[in-house]
């Protein structure tokens, strides 16, 4: 698994965007992205592809 994270500040809110790529058993590769609003303590978006 490989991952990275970026931090942004917009509209007075701190957000972390976390990207990850990994392979499941059986060889299926997944790309994941989460957007975490650190100011409010909530995950605003979660995307799993495919």
Band the pLDDT of 42: cuts 50, 70, 90: very high
- pLDDT tens track for 12-35: 999 999 999 999 888 999 999 999
Q: What is the DSSP string of 2-41?
A: EEEEEEEEETTEEEEEEEEEEE-TTS-EEEEEEEEETTTT
CB within 8 Å of 10: residues ≥ 6 apart? none
- Say what the pLDDT of residue 25 is: 85
* DSSP code for 1: -
- Say what the pLDDT of residue 26 is: 87
Band the pLDDT of 41: cuts 50, 70, 90: very high
C-beta atoms surrounding 36 within 10 Å: 19
């Amino acid at each position: 698994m490989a991952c990275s994270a970026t931090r942004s500040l917009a509209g007075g809110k701190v957000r972390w965007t976390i990207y990850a790529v990994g392979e499941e058993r059986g060889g299926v590769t997944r790309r994941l992205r989460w957007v975490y609003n650190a100011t409010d303590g909530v995950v605003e978006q979660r995307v799993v592809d495919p």
